[in-house]
Amino acid sequence: MSDDGMLAEVDSLREHTIVTLNKLTKDIKRQHKIMERSDKRQQREYDELQKKLQEVEELGKEIAQTQREVVFTMGAIAESRSKETGNHVKRVAEYTYLFAKYYGLPEAECTLLKQASPMHDIGKVAIPDAVLNKPGRFDEAERKIMDTHAQLGYDMLQGSKRTLLKMAATVAYEHHEKWNGKGYPRQLKGEEIHIYGRITALADVFDALGSTRVYKPAWDDERIFKMFREERGEHFDPALIDIFFEHLDEFLAFRDTLKDVVS
């Protein structure tokens, strides 16, 4: 190769190198810029995401709270139409939670049952006033009408897709069934009765017996306990009666904190 040829090649190499180096310089500067901008952008996006997440969380909480309030209000309406008063619904809620917990249901399910069980008598909103508010005892025809409240409650709630309302539908439907098959409306027996129904039945009766009503004084504890022992495996699920006596102090503690104010 001639010197000229070599020089030309070196020149071209130099030019090429300069171009490459310039590009490299540009790239490095650029890279720096890109990283800086990206960091800034990502930080802002992160902030935005966090904000939105928080909004969603708060919305979720609000929905859950609204649901609880609606359900509780429905329960209260039902109670106001039955002859029960005061904190009955709240106590039943707490008792059903305790039963569910010691029966071994998962925590989330226990909490749901606590919210659903106050609606057990929701069907009573559909019972005519003349029957519902009748002073004194019901005759047989009236008793039959009263008993439809279980089916009515179920009919009202069963259409819902919400877990909580579906559970409430079961509770309304089965809270007057008895372990021995002599309850209503379907005369279900033993474990045919859903655990939610069995639990609410016992919680409801326990509270009704221990409360003063217009038509009856409160039973004393010994009388209730005696009745529970007799009805173990008859009216009530034996496993639940056992749980009741085993954790009696906890049930009584709730009863004390949620006592009806005597006027």
Query: Smaller CB distance to another protein: residue 21 or 63?
Result: 21
Q: Dihedral of the CA atoms 114, 116, 118, 123 (nearest 10)?
A: -160
| Assigned token pair, 256 | 């004390």
Residue pair 99/202 in contact by the 8 Å Cβ criterion: yes
Distance (Å, whole) CA 207 – CA 218: 10
- Site residues (CB under 5 A) for Fe ion, limited to 103-132: 121
Q: Which of 14, 16, 32, 44 binds another protein (CB under 8 A)?
A: 44
Residue 37 within binding range of another protein, rule CB under 8 A: yes
| Choices 26-34, 72-80, 104-112, 211-219 (CB under 8 A): range interacting with another protein | 26-34
Helices 163-174 + 3-81 axis angle, to 10: 20
Can the peptide bond before residue 118 be classed as cis, meaning omega within 30 degrees of 0?
no
Q: Which of 13, 24, 34, 248 binds another protein (CB under 8 A)?
A: 34
Beta carbon of residue 107, minimum distance to another protein (angstroms, whole number): 34
Q: Which does 31 bind (CB under 5 to 8 A by kind): another protein, Fe ion, none?
A: another protein
Residue 242 within binding range of another protein, rule CB under 8 A: no
Distances in Å between the alpha carbon of 73 and those of 69, 70, 78?
A: 6, 5, 8
Residue 204 within binding range of Fe ion, rule CB under 5 A: yes
| Choices 32-40, 64-72, 196-204, 247-255 (CB under 8 A): range interacting with another protein | 32-40
Residue 41 within binding range of another protein, rule CB under 8 A: yes
Write out the H or E segment, with its range, that includes residue 29: helix 3-81
Q: How many residues bind another protein (CB under 8 A)?
A: 11
Task: Give φ, ψ of 209 to 5 degrees.
Answer: -65, -40
| Assigned token pair, 191 | 């474990």
| Assigned token pair, 36 | 């800086």
Active site residue 101: no
Residue 63 within binding range of another protein, rule CB under 8 A: no
Q: Which does 221 bind (CB under 5 to 8 A by kind): Fe ion, another protein, none?
A: none
Q: Dihedral of the CA atoms 201, 205, 207, 213 (nearest 10)?
A: 140
Query: Which residues sit at the interface with another protein, rule CB under 8 A?
Result: 30-31, 33-35, 37-38, 41-42, 44-45
Q: Which residues are catalytic?
A: 124
> What is the contact surface with Fe ion in residues (CB under 5 A)?
121, 204
